[in-house]
Amino acid sequence: MKVTDKDVAYVADLANLELTEEERAHMLRDLNSILEYMERLSELETDQVAPMAQVSDRYGKNNDESRQGSDRFAYAIREDVKGGLRESLPQDVAVKNAPDTDGTFFEVPKVIERQ
């Protein structure tokens, strides 16, 4: 078993999940079985292989992994548009789906530091 109870609790904390006792037991079993299956990637030698974050940086003529840094994301650059591409939502529309609002702000319970 690679993943322990402690790991499950730690990761749940990072992910802002609490999980019931039963869910934690399921997670322990499932994460171990899935991660064991993922281990097979270590069979591949990848020291000289560049990581690929997404597909768009392979667009266009130089789709040969040769572009570096921000040049790889040149497709995403656009002119600044005054006021934005789209008008902002009016405030009442923006807060309409909020579970708790005073009509101007989103309201949340008291913020207390985690121990």
Partner 1 sequence: MPELTIDEVQIAIAGRHTTATALAHDFYERIRKEDPGIGAYLTVCNDRALAQAARIDAMAAEGKPLPPLGGVPVAIKDVMVTNGVRTTAGSKILENFIPPYDCTAVARLEAAGAVILGKLNCDEFAMGSSNENSAYHVVHNPRDKSRVPGGSSGGSAAAVAAEMAVATLGSDTGGSIRQPASFCGVVGLKPTYGRVSRYGLIAFASSLDHIGPFAKTVKEVALVLRIIAGRDPMDSTSAEVPVPDYVAELEKPVKGLKVGVPKEYFGSGLDPEVGAAVESAIQELAGLGCEVVPLSLPHTEYAVPTYYIVATAEASANLARFDGVRYGYRAKANTLSEMYRLTRDGGFGMEVKRRIMLGTYVLSAGYYDAYYLKAQKVRTLLTRDFDEAFKKVDVIAAPTCPTPAFRLGEKVNDPLAMYLADIYTVTANLAGIPGISVPCGENHEKLPIGLQLFARHFDEATLLRVAHAYEQSRKPT
One-letter identity of residue 35: L
Radius of gyration of the chain, Cα coordinates, nearest whole angstrom: 23
**CA atoms lying within 13 Å on the CB side of residue 30:** 7
Cα dihedral 28, 34, 35, 37 sign: positive
Sole binder of partner 1 in the list 99, 102, 103, 104 (CB under 8 A): 99
54 is a contact residue toward partner 1 (CB under 8 A):
yes
Q: Which of residues 66-85 bind partner 1 (CB under 8 A)?
A: 75-76, 78, 85
89 is a contact residue toward partner 1 (CB under 8 A):
yes
Cα dihedral 33, 36, 38, 40 sign: negative
Total interface residues for partner 1 by CB under 8 A: 61
Site for partner 1, rule CB under 8 A = 3, 7-8, 10-12, 14-20, 23, 26-27, 30-31, 33-35, 37-38, 40-42, 44, 46, 49-56, 58-59, 63, 65, 75-76, 78, 85-86, 89, 93-100, 106, 108-112, 114
